Structure 1
Amino acid sequence: MRVDLVPDDPWERVAAVLPPAPERRHRHPGRLRVPHRAALAGVIYVLRTGVAWRDVPAQAVGCSGVTAWRRLRDWTEAGVWPRLHAALLTELRRADLLDLDDCAVDGSHVRALKRGDHVGPSPVDRARPGSKHHVIVDRHGTPLAVTLTGGNRHDVTQLIPLLDAVPPIRGLRGRPRRRPRRLFADRGYDYDKYRRLVWKRGIKPMIARRGVAYGSGLGKVRCVVERAFAWLHQFKRLRTRYERRADLHQGLLDLACSIICLRRLRKSF
């Protein structure tokens, strides 16, 4: 197994949220089960390089691509990635590396080469099949939540689901924090209905107005969400959607967000 894919420090955090391996049968035990760490290395290898699962170099990584895919499926269905992301956000807040007062939202199109759930004709890609990544970030660009929809869904439809998807973030004394004080967004979110819904949640909407000349000054605060998309799409498996199953692509998105949080805590991962 390549040690640089899953170093010791991040592995301790990941192992804490992984489900225990099933006990081996006494009669007809079969082959030895691939260790979780080697399977995670295979998943991260695909996430970083974007290769097909069948092209994972088993000798270099430590497991075959099929095994890595099956383990990704099992962990996604068990809800491992949201728990890992929430635990890392808590650790960031405890270390004073999270600023939840100002948050920003946006969406980004990706091409979907295979049919599946949450795929639709993309209005920015000549109606080719595509999906959308929607993300909400803190003042530093750390992703707090990410959702997946079809390429034909409007960004504003995911504004409230994104706010609701932010997990309760602990780390400091008092109630867990899950709502920002101010929410920044571009003109695509300029709808009075959604402004009222944001206000009802006790959040001040800082949304650019349509028909107003550029230069509102919101861009200097909202630019962090564009940087977050650049961080996410450094993982080549996320630049183009290959997974038919939407939950597996969502799982890779959550894993990428967790890796970004780990990089904030540990620069070398």
Structure 2
Amino acid sequence: MVGRGELTDKAWERIAPLLPDNAGGRRWRDHRQVINAILWKLRTGAPWRDLPERYGPWKTAHERLRRWTMDGTWQKILDEAIVKDDAVGEVEWIISVDSSVIRAHQHAAGARKKGGAHIRSKALVVDGECLGRSRGGLSSKIHLAVDARGLPMNVILTGGQAGDNPQLIPLLDGLNVRRDGPGRPRSRPQAVVADKAYSHPSTRQAMRERRVRFISPEKTDQIARRRAKGAAGGRPPVFDREVYRGRNVVERCFARLKQFRGLATRYAKRAAYYAAEVTIAAIILWLR
């Protein structure tokens, strides 16, 4: 019987073929049991040492998380989930973007400055250990791009003090969904929807150059400067209120991700491991 928060049979059938085989040595503990252990840790936010006995040794689960973070297995599974949905036309390419500050627990501090883990991933960008000081104290920030259904397409992790607008182009650059068959990967959305934090003339120019429809309200100071120039200020940018109403899907996605208590507060010292945990939660959202 499947326990609460564990992999369903349908989800397991999709990801089992994507998991690495044992390259040699002793026989690996059952992959499904280990993934369920990692999901329990994410769902509860408890320390590894409190892992229930039914999931096996906590060190095994932690080592599998580390190993598959380093070789990009988690990102491979997420990419495959997106590709399969896009192949049947379920991915809706109106992309909404936003960010959320994640308070870091005191256990997240103190990582060694040298020898940090690197994550092989096109979607999760790890810059140092991604810890910074914001109004809430020591924190990280998740920058998220979702499709029109609110499913995660790309994520970037930064320190909590980082601005939103500088991460928009890197978020879009990470949208590279290969075809389930011949053809080049798809990377250009139909439209990008963002709040005022992303409204800047340079951003709008970049979107025009990419031939991407950009829907974001102007800031008050930008409106004032444009009007002060008179006719030289040009026309106001086109703003589609109807499409902008759908931007709340990214807020709803953050709410679903933060149901995993291990994500709502950052406990991991290494940014690579926290980024991998975000990827695992995203996989679960895609497989539901």
Band the TM-score falls in, shorter-chain normalisation: 0.7 to 0.9
Residue 2 of structure 1 deviates from its aligned partner by: 5.5
Distance 1:219 1:206, change over 3 A: closer
State the partner residue of 1:261: 286
Q: Are 2:57 and 1:64 equivalent residues in the alignment?
A: yes
State the partner residue of 1:106: 98
Residue 92 of structure 1 deviates from its aligned partner by: 1.2
Residue 172 of structure 1 deviates from its aligned partner by: 7.5
Counterpart contact for 1:2–1:41, Cα < 8 Å: no
Ranges in structure 2 where 5+ consecutive residues have no aligned partner: 112-128, 224-238
Please list the CA deviations of residues 43-93 of structure 1 after superposition, one character each: whole Å capped at 9, or x if unmatched.
11111121111111022xx22222111110000101011111111011112
Q: Distance in 1 between matches of 2:174 and 2:130?
A: 17
State the partner residue of 1:154: 163
Q: Distance in 2 between matches of 1:221 and 1:10?
A: 28
Q: Distance in 1 between matches of 2:188 and 2:48?
A: 38
Q: Distance in 2 between matches of 1:119 and 1:81?
A: 22
State the partner residue of 2:235: none
Q: Distance in 2 between matches of 1:208 and 1:173?
A: 38
State the partner residue of 2:9: 8
Counterpart contact for 1:182–1:206, Cα < 8 Å: yes
Ranges in structure 1 where 5+ consecutive residues have no aligned partner: 264-269
Q: Are 2:176 and 1:167 equivalent residues in the alignment?
A: yes
* Equivalent residue pairs, number: 250
TM-score, structure 1 normalization: 0.86
State the partner residue of 1:18: 19
Identity %: 35
Q: Which amino acid aligns with 1:241?
A: R
Please list the CA deviations of residues 170-209 of structure 1 after superposition, one character each: whole Å capped at 9, or x if unmatched.
2477543222021110000111112222222221211211
State the partner residue of 1:266: none
State the partner residue of 2:88: 95
Q: Which amino acid aligns with 2:153?
A: L
Q: Are 2:113 and 1:118 equivalent residues in the alignment?
A: no
3-state SS, counterpart of residue 111 of structure 1 = strand
Q: Distance in 2 between matches of 1:20 and 1:10?
A: 19
Distance 1:179 1:173, change over 3 A: same
Q: Distance in 1 between matches of 2:56 and 2:255?
A: 29
Counterpart contact for 2:78–2:279, Cα < 8 Å: yes
3-state SS, counterpart of residue 16 of structure 1 = helix
Q: Distance in 2 between matches of 1:58 and 1:198?
A: 52
Residue 219 of structure 1 deviates from its aligned partner by: 4.2
Q: Which amino acid aligns with 1:246?
A: A
Q: Distance in 1 between matches of 2:183 and 2:60?
A: 42
Q: Distance in 2 between matches of 1:11 and 1:35?
A: 12
State the partner residue of 1:83: 76
Q: Are 2:68 and 1:43 equivalent residues in the alignment?
A: no
Distance 1:216 1:90, change over 3 A: closer
Regions of 4+ moved over 6 Å: none
Q: Which amino acid aligns with 2:265?
A: T
TM-score, structure 2 normalization: 0.81
Counterpart contact for 2:215–2:244, Cα < 8 Å: no
Counterpart contact for 1:76–1:248, Cα < 8 Å: yes
Q: Which amino acid aligns with 1:188?
A: A
